[in-house]
């Protein structure tokens, strides 16, 4: 079996040279899915995995814009339309200086399986730019977004491809992008999700990824007769996902003790309560400041250039970026007694770290299952846009909760291993089967 995985991966590397994040994401899926395909020859004959690993379409484009000094800046824009067998392409836009083809292809590939798991009809895509919104004025961000959409608009549509936010793309950016689309196309349609409430957004969408990661942790803990209540949790990042993870942890009686950004981390042993979280939201979403300021305000420890994984915890919620938990970090977490990891971020744990979690038999909820609540609620936003209706907060939250429960059940269906559940195997195979069957039904396209 392993030999078949290696043969498959070698071909991927040869075809996609230098794209190490993409290789990593495909390998993780192949390690679970190739043995499954060996037992299900119809998938092998149709070369489904080979087809899924090849994007349906990639668009790359120039994004020129004028900065506040009147100087011309040039960024690169991307949209990866990975797979539309079960619905229109769906997946976020990332604006970050590290963005390149490899990172967006890994994210788009993951998105295909994640979206399939949500039970909603959404294909997988991802896009973005190497533009860095940090340190830019609102005017510069608007100019950039307008230029970006001036090209992207011709590739998206409510039944074609519906982007959303990701790192560096929050409510402000979605607003500027939507405004430009509306102006160019003279149409008010649901071509983006994560919109504000007064122009087509859904209640609970901002909260959904963080809440979903906590709901998923709760489901995992139930399998061991445990719960979130009373647990000490470490959280990385301090953006959208981290903020709402902490909000839900507070609702459920847990204590979140860390936050981080790309400059460093804070450790607040008393817990980041509702009041402190409101301060973080203001600091990060409005003032666009650094997490170091939290340590100054509340007199707690700040460590620069460090992630929070050395801090003892019961549950870890990586919520910043890919490969943020190294092999050593994973070992430290396990040695310090961590019993559960629920990934709000995409692919935050390096493969050797994943092996450590699986070997230690802790509850390990990989990103494509644990953070699927975000895109699921984007799917609910699309449904509300189509119906021209608005559901209540309770209604959307209940649907989100049910979707997270059903993703957990799908992981159990395909990942049960004796008394334990291998969520990596479960999520990858469950996500694969739905897309694979749809591709076979639709012929060679
Ligand atoms: P935000 O931009 O709101 O926040 C990102 C946070 O992570 C910031 O605190 C940022 O710090 C930090 N960060 C980003 N890059 C790095 C890095 N290279 N090293 C250290 N810290 C970093 O993004 P989101 O909260 O939306 O996204 C966080 C993660 O969750 C991403 O992996 C994203 O793909 C994933 N995700 C998001 C979803 C969503 O609905 N938003 C849905 C599913 C997954 P700084 O401010 O210094 O840059």
Segment 14-54, tens digit of pLDDT: 999 999 999 999 999 999 999 999 999 999 999 999 999 99
Rounded distance between C-alpha atoms, residue 333 and residue 181, angstroms: 45
Q: Which of 90, 163, 166, 342 to mutate to test the pocket of ligand 1 (most atoms within 8 A of CB)?
A: 166
Q: Point out the catalytic residue in the list 114, 126, 255, 425.
A: 126
On whether the CB atoms of residues 42 and 436 are closer than 8 A, the answer is: no
Of 258, 249, 254, 381, residue with least CA distance to 320:
258
**The pLDDT of residue 264:** 98
Q: Where are the beta strands (DSSP E) in 96-141?
A: 123-129
Separation of CA 46 and ligand 1 centre (Å): 37
Segment 348-394, tens digit of pLDDT: 999 999 999 999 999 999 999 999 999 999 999 999 999 999 999 99
94 CA: nearest ligand 1 atom: 34
Rounded distance between C-alpha atoms, residue 292 and residue 303, angstroms: 8
Identical fold for domains 57-189 and 208-370, yes or no, is yes
164 CA: nearest ligand 1 atom: 40
On whether the CB atoms of residues 268 and 292 are closer than 8 A, the answer is: no
371 CA: nearest ligand 1 atom: 43
Q: Which two tokens stand for residue 420?
A: 């334990």
The pTM of the full predicted model, rounded to 2 decimals, is 0.97
**The pLDDT of residue 6:** 96
Segment 297-310, tens digit of pLDDT: 999 999 999 999 99
128 Rama sector, left if φ>0, alpha if ψ -120 to 50, beta otherwise = left
322 CA: nearest ligand 1 atom: 32
Segment 202-243, tens digit of pLDDT: 999 999 999 999 999 999 999 999 999 999 999 999 999 999
Rounded distance between C-alpha atoms, residue 401 and residue 390, angstroms: 18
Q: Which two tokens stand for residue 20?
A: 């190490």
Ligand 1, atom 33: nearest CA belongs to which residue? 345
* End-to-end C-alpha distance for the chain, whole angstroms: 28
Q: Which of 96, 100, 133, 240 to mutate to test the pocket of ligand 1 (most atoms within 8 A of CB)?
A: 240
Rounded distance between C-alpha atoms, residue 244 and residue 394, angstroms: 16
Ligand 1, atom 44: nearest CA belongs to which residue? 345
Separation of CA 212 and ligand 1 centre (Å): 16
Residue 47 bears catalytic tag: no
Separation of CA 7 and ligand 1 centre (Å): 34
Separation of CA 188 and ligand 1 centre (Å): 29
pLDDT, mean of residues 112-134: 97
On whether the CB atoms of residues 28 and 110 are closer than 8 A, the answer is: no
Segment 152-190, tens digit of pLDDT: 999 999 999 999 999 999 999 999 999 999 999 999 999
Rounded distance between C-alpha atoms, residue 130 and residue 373, angstroms: 26
On whether the CB atoms of residues 323 and 347 are closer than 8 A, the answer is: yes
Could you tell me the pLDDT band of residue 55, with boundaries at 50, 70 and 90? very high
Mean pLDDT of all residues in the chain? 97
Look at residue 223 and give its three-state secondary structure. coil
Looking at the DSSP assignment, which residues form a beta bridge with residue 129?
Answer: 77, 95
Separation of CA 34 and ligand 1 centre (Å): 31
On whether the CB atoms of residues 127 and 173 are closer than 8 A, the answer is: no
The fold for domain 208-370 equals Rossmann fold (3.40.50)
Of 442, 370, 375, residue with least CA distance to 56:
442
pLDDT, mean of residues 54-67: 98
Instruction: Please check whether the domain covering 57-189 is classified as CATH 3.40.50.10860.
Output: yes
Q: Which two tokens stand for residue 255?
A: 């204590």
pLDDT, mean of residues 325-333: 98
Domain extent listing, the chain? 2-52, 57-189, 208-370
**The pLDDT of residue 2:** 83
Ligand 1, atom 36: nearest CA belongs to which residue? 345
Separation of CA 192 and ligand 1 centre (Å): 19
**Ligand 1 cavity residues, CB under 6 Å:** 165-168, 170, 209, 237-241, 261-263, 319-321, 344-346, 371, 374
Rounded distance between C-alpha atoms, residue 113 and residue 432, angstroms: 6
**The pLDDT of residue 154:** 98
**The pLDDT of residue 1:** 55
pLDDT > 90 in the chain, percent: 99
Q: Which of 320, 324, 343 to mutate to test the pocket of ligand 1 (most atoms within 8 A of CB)?
A: 320
Stretch (H or E) spanning 66? strand 57-66
Q: Which two tokens stand for residue 280?
A: 């973080």
């Amino acid at each position: 079996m392993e030999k078949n995985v290696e043969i498959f991966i070698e071909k991927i590397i040869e075809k996609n040279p230098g794209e190490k994040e993409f290789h990593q994401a495909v390998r993780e899926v192949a390690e679970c899915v190739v043995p499954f395909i060996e037992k299900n020859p119809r998938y092998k004959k149709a070369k489904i995995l080979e087809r899924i690993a090849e994007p349906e379409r990639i668009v790359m484009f120039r994004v020129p814009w004028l900065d506040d000094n009147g100087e011309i800046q040039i960024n690169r824009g991307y949209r990866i339309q990975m797979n539309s067998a079960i619905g229109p392409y769906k997946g976020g836009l990332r604006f970050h200086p590290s963005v390149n083809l490899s990172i967006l292809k890994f994210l788009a590939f993951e998105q295909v399986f994640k979206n399939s798991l949500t039970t909603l009809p959404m294909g997988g895509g991802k896009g973005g730019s190497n533009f860095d919104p940090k340190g830019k004025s609102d005017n510069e961000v608007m100019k950039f977004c307008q230029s970006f959409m001036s090209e992207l608009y011709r590739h998206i549509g409510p039944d074609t491809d519906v982007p959303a936010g990701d790192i560096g793309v929050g409510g402000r950016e979605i607003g500027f992008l939507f405004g430009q689309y509306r102006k160019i196309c003279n149409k008010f349609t649901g071509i983006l999700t994560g919109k504000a409430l007064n122009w087509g957004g859904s209640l609970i969408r901002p909260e959904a990824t963080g809440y979903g990661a906590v709901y998923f942790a709760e489901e995992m803990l139930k399998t061991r007769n445990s719960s979130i209540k009373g647990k000490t949790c470490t959280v990385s990042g301090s953006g959208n996902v981290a903020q709402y993870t902490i909000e839900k942890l507070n609702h459920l009686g847990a204590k979140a003790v860390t936050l981080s950004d790309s400059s460093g981390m804070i450790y607040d042993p008393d817990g980041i309560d509702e009041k402190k979280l409101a301060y973080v939201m203001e600091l990060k979403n409005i003032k666009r400041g650094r997490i170091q300021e939290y340590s100054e305000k509340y007199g707690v420890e700040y460590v620069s250039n460090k992630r929070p994984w050395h801090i003892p915890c019961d549950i870890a919620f990586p919520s910043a970026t890919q490969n943020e938990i190294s092999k050593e970090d994973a070992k430290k977490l396990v040695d310090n007694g961590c019993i559960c990891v629920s990934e709000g971020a995409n692919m935050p744990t390096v493969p050797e770290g994943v092996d450590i979690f699986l070997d230690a038999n802790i509850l390990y909820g990989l990103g494509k299952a644990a953070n699927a609540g975000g895109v699921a609620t984007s799917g609910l936003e699309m449904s509300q846009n189509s119906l021209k209706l608005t559901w209540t907060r309770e209604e959307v939250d209940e649907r989100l909760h049910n979707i997270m429960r059903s993703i957990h059940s799908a992981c159990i269906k395909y990942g049960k291993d004796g008394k334990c559940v291998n969520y990596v195997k479960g999520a990858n195979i469950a996500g694969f089967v739905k897309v694979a069957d749809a591709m076979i039904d639709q012929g060679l396209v």
